[in-house]
Amino acid sequence: MKHLLKLMDLSAKEITEILNTADQLKYEKKNGIPHHLLTGKTLGLIFAKSSTRTRVSFEVGMFDLGGMSLFLSARDLQIGRGEPVRDTARVLSRYLDGIMIRTFDQKEVESLAEFGTIPVINGLTDYCHPCQVLADLMTIREYKGATEGLKLCYVGDGNNMTNSLIVGGIKLGMEVSVACPKGYEPDADIMKWAHESGRFSCSPDVLEMAAGADVLYTDVWASMGQEAEAEERKKVFKDYQINDKTMKAAKSDAMVLHCLPAHREEEITAKVFEEHSREIFDEAENRLHAQKAVLVKCML
Ligand code: CP
Ligand code: NVA
């Protein structure tokens, strides 16, 4: 695997191999077994948006793997002053062994990969968040043993998380349903692709979509970059919440996942969040193991 730009580029086999590697690296980390697979390698972390989990998991991940990382705020790079992505890509390729980038436009990530000569990893764009969904799938496998045949229901905005969850879930044999208000659906091409699997549904009816779900998932109503719409979105999304009613519609042993950060009493009640905090924070931890697996697959 050269890059991780979006999950659509990966086969089910490649995704499963990443998850298997992540499980192995987690086992080794927990048991103090060193795995310096990327000794002497350098990873640049370009951030045009805020981050807690992605930044820390990639920085610690590179350390665990025997390499080093450089935090590069897009605000401080010349890219933030208009230096073209294709030039940045060619320059950074001369210094680094890999780049992780979090930005707005998916095209910027694709251009870095096109013009650079080193692996590029997508740490979130407005379009998708593949790294997060690899950690999510890892967590689902841990709790449920497998992904095939399970139903995942996403409640909320049809955003970057939704796009990647649909692709990752369907590729690993899950049924995926999305409950979102009209006009806030996931990407149209992804939905078209998902419908062809016969295992996808999308409707404004939360309880119908959540019926019989094994996994309930939600994310913020206003993503990074949508701050100006936040108040309007609070009105549009007020019924798109994981709460006791949603939980009742799902299976009695349904797990709840949230990519975090969470807004209590908006997309999820504080009660449901705390009742499912074990799986939600296992999910956050798994970012580290899953990101290390991606680094190994792309940079070894
Ligand atoms: N879930 C996630 O990507 O978190 P950060 O924004 O903190 O990186
Ligand atoms: N949809 C959220 C995800 C954060 C991890 C955002 O883009 O802000």
Ligand 1 pocket, residue 54 CB under 6 Å: yes
Kindly report, residue by residue over 105-160, the tens digit of the pLDDT: 999 999 999 999 999 999 999 999 999 999 999 999 999 999 999 999 999 999 99
> For residue 186, is the peptide bond before it cis, meaning its omega torsion is within 30 degrees of 0?
no
Residue 53 known to be catalytic? no
Q: Output the residue whose Cα is nearest ligand 2's atom 7.
A: 223
The active-site residue, picked from 128, 202, 259, 298, is 259
Confidence of residue 3 (pLDDT cuts 50, 70, 90): very high
Residue 5 pLDDT level (bands cut at 50, 70, 90): very high
Q: CA-to-CA distance for 54 and 65, rounded, in angstroms? A: 16
35, 56, 79 from 73: Cα distances, Å: 28, 14, 10
Nearest to 153 by CA among 254, 236, 12: 254
CA distances from 286 to 19, 22, 86, 205, 292 (A): 10, 8, 32, 31, 10
Whether pTM > 0.95 for this model: the answer is yes
User: Tokens 């019924």 — which residue?
Assistant: 239
**CA-based nearest residue to 143, from 217, 52, 206, 225:** 217
Dihedral class, residue 269 (left if φ above 0, else alpha if ψ from -120 to 50, else beta): beta
Per-residue pLDDT band for 212 (boundaries 50, 70, 90) equals very high
Residue owning the nearest CA to atom 6 of ligand 1: 51
Index of the ligand 2 atom closest to the CA of residue 159: 1
Region 198-203 average pLDDT: 98
Please write the tens of the pLDDT for every residue from 286-295: 999 999 999 9
Tell which one of 224, 229, 233, 267 to mutate to probe ligand 2, the residue whose CB is within 8 A of the most ligand atoms.
224
Residues linked to residue 217 through DSSP beta bridges, in sequence order: 154, 257
The pLDDT of residue 62 is 98
Q: What is the three-class DSSP state of 77? A: coil
- CB 46, CB 101: distance < 8 Å: yes
Residue 131 near ligand 1, beta carbon < 6 Å? no
User: Would you state the pLDDT for residue 291?
Assistant: 98
75 is catalytic: no
Q: Find the 49 Cα to ligand 1 centroid distance in Å.
A: 10
Per the CB < 8 A criterion, the answer to whether 52 and 76 are in contact is no
Strands 151-155 and 175-179: parallel
Q: 133 CB under 6 A from ligand 2?
A: no
> Would you place residue 259 in the very low, low, confident or very high pLDDT band (cuts 50, 70, 90)?
very high
Taking residues 76-84, what's their average pLDDT? 93
Is residue 178 within 8 Å of 157, Cβ to Cβ?
A: no
Share in percent of the chain as helix, strand, coil (round to 5): 50, 15, 35
